[in-house]
Amino acid sequence: MSYTNFTIETDADGIALVTWNMPDKSMNVFTAEVMKELDAIVDQTVADEAVKGVVFTSGKSTFSGGADLSMIKGMFTFQQEQKKLDPENAAQKLFDLTGKMTGLFRKLETSGKPWVSAINGTCMGGAFELSLACHGRVAANSKSVKIALPEVKVGIFPGAGGTQRVPRLTNAQDALQMMTTGSSLTPQRAKAMGLIHEIAEPAELINAAKAMIKNGLKPVQPWDEKGYKVPGGGIWTPAAAQLWPAASAILRRETAGNYPGGLAILKCVYEGLQVPFDTGLKIEQRYFTEILQTTEAFSMIRSLFISMQELGKGARRPAGIPKSELKQIGVVGAGFMGASIAYVAAAAGIEVTLIDRDMEAAEKGKAHSEGLVKDSIGKGRLTHDEATALLARITPSADYNDLKDVKLVVEAVFEDRQVKKDVIEKVEAVLAEDAIFASNTSTLPITGLAKNSKRPAQFIGIHFFSPVEKMMLTEVILGKETGEKALATALDFVAAIKKTPIVVNDTRGFYVNRCVFRYIHEAYDMLIEGVPAAMIENVAKMAGMPVGPLSLNDEVAVDLSQKILKASIADLGEASVDPRHMALINTLVDDLDRRGRKNGKGFYEYPAKPAKKFLWPGLKDLYPSKPAENFDVLTIKQRFLVTIALEAARTMEEGIVTDPREADVGSILGFGFAPYTGGTLSYIDGMGVKAFVALCEKLAESYGEHFRPTPLLKDMAAKGETFYGRFDPYGKREAA
């Protein structure tokens, strides 16, 4: 029997090697077709008396990333359709659908023949749940092997047996940590936890897997054998009495109860370990069905799984323009940002000419990469040979003529119009006619900078976020005259360095910074009102933000806030800035020299390590705090999320952002907007635009006109629309 996605070869010892190798896919993923074929393979190997056991592996450099986009989308589409067609039985039908993978994996492990999973590369989600259903697991001794159940990061949890098999193989504490964080395991860590049996050199992986079968591997899972005991003794032990209250408290501390998927993991494990395995699977299936129906799961999967993949694969790239093969680029400005951009480009295999005013400055920029490389070697992320090759791809220079052959130049000099003007003119004097010029700027509009260019159609903005090597987002900014070739080239470059791009039209602060400073300015308002600084910071994190707004302001620099406020006044007039905000920042910067983390004092104090930062006590003298009980925690959370989401809605209304996927993904990757909401616009859609408008009006009455809903929002509320319906990124109107 032949299959589209699998091949089967049975050797002289009766061991069938099943190789998963999907055509036209860079990585194996679960689809309806894959599931159907795998089901047939189980039946075939059981029926074939010549087959004594099965080794399951991948024909690609990775093992599998789990479920395919179409499969995930299909679950939500099915759910929405059933709610319309048969609301009374919709939940039962979803329950039956979610049990298909669970049932297939259970069929495999009770087939009566031993299966061994030979893990040769990344093994995530459902692929690792499949491996857990196998009776033996061997992983290659390679740093490319990453094992994880990361579903919680996209709003769900391991729902194909993961919550039942992992805690039956390892202790409950490690099992909970792995699944509630979604963290990756090395083969060594996975073996130490008891999740895999052996580690083999890559060339010997299949032989090692076959040897397990030859050596008498039982075709029975531990939990299916009589007398099986859960590692650590199960739920009713003194150790468990200490673990479970702590686990619940830690989850609450880390998530503030915002992620239903995380709590469901605890429930599945706690309840599942008290019952037989098949009953545990039903418990897991029940909770998985429940979580799939939450707004959080829908929004997170859409933004953090589906939209991120679509944007990363070039959803906004203009059609019909050949892909740019960027083998060499230029970076002008070897300061912190320019040096970091050079590093990520070199890490992606691109040759980089790093230009600065003199060789000393250019060499200093390369030294920054040397520091990053040294750190990566220390953490085992790079070998010495890889590090040497990476650094060899960065060539420092003070001669602009060295840019004459590159197809893309990224300018990353000081945020000053005159400095950038000088660089643009020097670069364009030598740049090839068809090359693209990209400016890395966080504050200066691209259209204005392009006025210094002789070819504005080939001028574009690429805004990187610091630290460049860690931040996954880039804003690609279109000036009024930017052409499609420039956009395509910029997106090709961003894809090459493995970042996620959002495309925005030109405006002050672009998209991310406009939203970020609404968050920070709301904190200024709260300080002035007398909300205790600690309450501001803690409630912001309870709302789902990764750091409090005062801490964030210290990171971006308090004097940068001052510069931005002054620039707004200069360009837009006094009315564009709240004078109380200006007074607060002027006091901190001009009177007290509190500029943020960079000079060791801002809203926080930064003592020498290992001591931790703490809120500056002097804030209470500048703005006396009122008792915390005077303020409502829910209202503070709403103020933070609503003011940011309102700004995102304004950018859509102004045509700055045109695709709701980019607003959502940009808000999460750019500044960590409460990921459980799915992003700024999903936050609005999730509660309903009508409810959001009502909340805005309520907040405006008490906290200022900046909370007033925009005309667009009022119109959408009246029509019952959503952002994903009105601004449908897929080109056809449909309810989100």
Backbone angles phi, psi at 45, to 5 degrees: -70, -30
Nearest to 269 by CA among 292, 289, 248: 248
- Residue 236's identity, in one-letter code, is W
Copy the structure tokens of residue 717: 């509320």
Q: How many CB atoms lie within 10 A of CB 658?
A: 15
For residues 229 and 237, give the distance between their C-alpha atoms in angstroms, rounded to a whole number. Answer: 12
Distance, in Å, from the CA atom of 59 to the CA atom of 120, rounded to the nearest integer, reads 9
User: For residue 266, what are the contacts with CB-CB under 8 A and spacing of at least 6?
Assistant: 176, 180, 244, 247, 248, 251
Longest dimension (CA), the chain: 85
To which residue do tokens 């609450």 refer? Answer: 252
| Closest to 165 (Cα-Cα) out of 152, 178, 155, 146 | 178
- Going by their DSSP bridges, the two strands 6-10 and 15-20 should be labelled as antiparallel
For the record, the structure tokens of 291 come out as: 């979580």
Residue in 463, 521, 581, 706 annotated catalytic: 463
Amino acid 598 reads: K
Is 384 a residue of the active site? no
SS3 category, 619:
helix
Listed residue (57, 65, 56) closest to 25, CA to CA? 65
Cα 497 to Cα 345, 464, 473, 486, 637, distances in angstroms = 6, 12, 11, 17, 36
Which residues neighbour 629 within 8 Å (Cβ) at sequence distance 6 or greater? Answer: none
Among residues 480, 465, 457, 460, which one has the least CA distance to residue 655?
A: 480
Which residue type sits at 306?
Answer: I
Q: How many whole angstroms separate alpha carbon 342 and alpha carbon 333?
A: 10
Q: How remote is the C-alpha of 8 from its chain's centroid?
A: 36
CB 333 within 8 A of CB 408: no
Closest by CA to 540, choosing from 684, 642, 465, 617, is: 642
CA pseudo-torsion sign 222, 226, 232, 236 = positive
Strand order in the sheet with 459-464: 394-397, 351-355, 328-332, 408-411, 436-439, 459-464, 473-478, 500-505
DSSP, residue by residue, 621-648: HHSPPPPGGGS-HHHHHHHHHHHHHHHH
Contact 465, 474 (CB under 8 A): yes
Cα–Cα distance, 681 to 84 (Å, whole number): 24
Strand partners, 199: 139
Joined together, the tokens standing for residue 240 give 């468990």
User: CA end-to-end span of the chain, whole Å?
Assistant: 42
Active-site residue list: 463
